[in-house]
Structures are given as C-alpha cells and as structure tokens.
Amino acid sequence: MTARWRPVLAPAVHLRHDRVRGADLLLLPERVVVLEGSAGAVLRWCDGKREVPEIVRELARRYPGAPVADEVPEFLDRMREEGWLR
C-alpha cells in the first residue's frame, strides 16, 4: 500500500447504517455488504483527504490497545482489491 494513498469510497459505493440490523452496510450496484465489527468506523475516515497513516493514527488514538497499525492498512488494501475503495 502506498503511504500517500488517500482512500475514498468508489463512486458507486455508499456507506450506510442500518438501524434495524444494527450494522453498517456498503450499498453497491445490485449488492449489499454487511460490515462487521469496526469496519464502518474505519471506512468513515476514508474521505479522500486523509492519507492512510493519518487514518491509522486517529483510529489508534480513539481505540487504544487495538491493533490498528497492522489491521487497518490490510483491511483498506482488501477493500481496494474488491474495488470498493479507490
């Protein structure tokens, strides 16, 4: 992953919270992905303005002790591979 990458949701992808399910969702053309755990919280920081290290620092500050330095970049890479982030 490029440290200078500023992740943002792909144009056809929308992040929404479903109050009925109590879960965050990615709405894609003809598909809905139910996100688990803190995935929605991570994706909310992906606004195209912040670089990955900044997102990791902020999440580490908000969730002390969580393994964000290892897990968040890997998660963002997977989301990019799926085509959900650019």
9 is a domain residue: no
pLDDT of 2 reads 59
72 is a domain residue: yes
For the segment 54-70, what is each residue's pLDDT rounded down to a tens digit?
999 999 999 999 999 99
Task: Answer whether residue 80 shows pLDDT above 80.
Answer: yes
2 is a domain residue: no
- Model confidence, pTM: 0.89
49 is a domain residue: yes
53 CB-side CA count, 13 A: 3
Q: Give residue 68's domain range.
A: 14-82
Residue whose token pair is 């009925």:
20
For the segment 4-51, what is each residue's pLDDT rounded down to a tens digit?
899 999 999 999 999 999 999 999 999 999 999 999 999 999 999 999
34 is a domain residue: yes
Domain count, the chain: 1
6 is a domain residue: no
Domain of 36: which CATH number? 1.10.10.1150
41 is a domain residue: yes
